[in-house]
Structure 1
Amino acid sequence: MAETENGAAQAAPQIKLNVLNQYIRDLSFENILAQKRVSGEVQPDVSVQVNLDAQKREAENQYEVAIKLKITSKAKDSGAELFVMELDYAGLFNISGVPNEQLHPFLLIECPRLLFPFVRRIVSDVTRDGGFPPLNLENIDFMQLYRQELARQQAAQAQA
């Protein structure tokens, strides 16, 4: 720590994070199995695609972060689609004290971590209410997701 003129230690900036609001921006669920009138036991194969988005709002220190999921379930034996769910869930955050060079990863790692339990609950409730067993999403490693996206962008720039 750096010493100031009067000898007191200078503290690092205090990071403040407040969730101002969170909401469903878009939600769709299509029960394809019921539309095809298929009956009997079906073994599902579930695929989850995750996209993240962060935007600066007009108000100072405010950011909107969104988790976008596309979940598809197909029968393991036939490959026929059982259901498709799309969810766009956003949170409005007031963030201060984060250095500019660390803001991007903070928005795409820490903010989604706070939103994820609510996303998990919505997915579970909607799949259950849609006629299927509740789908309990496993934890998502947002840091790993962020690193993969950085590597993908670097590879794309190298090819360009």
Structure 2
Amino acid sequence: MADESPEENTGAQAAPQIQMRVLGQFIRDMSFENVMAQKSVSGDVQPEISVQVNLDAKKRATDHQYEVSIKLKLTSKAKGMEDVLFLCEIDYCGLFHVEGVPEDQMHPFLMIECPRMLFPFLRRIVSDITRDGGYPPVNLDNIDFVALYRNELARRQAAAQAQKTEA
């Protein structure tokens, strides 16, 4: 058994402690359009659901507080047809108190860790909305917020490159 020397132990203690608290969660905007009921579509329909996710984060006036939103759009179409069964759009927000995150890591932290905290609640709301709308409850698969963040960075870099080549 090796004992840690005091010099080795102080490096770990010097690192700032990250603190994150969820101050609140709310639905900013929500819409569920039951197109199938409006058109009186009948018969046995096999749904195909597409999901679009957008994230946004902004600093609030109070120190160390941020607002993070997940904008989700679900479109369900009948398999093999263009008929839309339902359309669900929701803008779900969380208010966070975040301290101890280095400034250069704040953006990825807000766009990855905060949505991870909100997602289980959003999943439940979507399940309830679709069930109450007359459909089997939609249980969203987990979203890989790291991959989503990396894809957005790559998209922005490609757009910046395209602008440079046009100029």
Corresponding residue of 1:90: 93
In 1: Cα distance, 2:10 partner to 2:113 partner: 28
Kindly report which structure 2 residues correspond to 1:22-101, keeping only aligned pairs within 5 A, or say none: 22-101=25-104
- Counterpart residue type for residue 9 of structure 1: T
Identity %: 64
Aligned letter for 1:35? Q
Cα distance per residue 1:64-118 (max 9 Å; x no partner): 0000001100011222000000000000000000000000000000000000000
Q: Which amino acid aligns with 2:136?
A: P
CA offset at residue 8 of structure 1? 7.0
The one-letter code sitting in structure 2 at the alignment partner of 1:112 is P
CA-CA distance at 1:40 after TM superposition: 1.8
What TM-score results when the alignment is normalised by the length of structure 1? Answer: 0.94
Q: By how many angstroms is 1:20 displaced? A: 0.2
Q: How many residues align?
A: 156
* 1:155 aligned residue (158, 161, 164): 158
One-letter amino acid of the structure 2 residue matched with residue 53 of structure 1: D
Following the alignment from structure 2 to structure 1, what is the Cα–Cα distance between the partners of residues 138 and 151?
A: 25
Tell me, in whole angstroms, the C-alpha distance in 1 between the residues paired with 2:99 and 2:9: 23
User: Following TM superposition, by how much is the alpha carbon of 1:9 offset from its aligned partner in structure 2, in angstroms?
Assistant: 1.2
Q: Residue in 1 aligned with 2:24? A: 21
- What is aligned with 1:110? 113
RMSD: 1.4
Give the TM-score, by structure 2 length: 0.90
Q: 1 or 2, which has the higher helix percentage?
A: 2
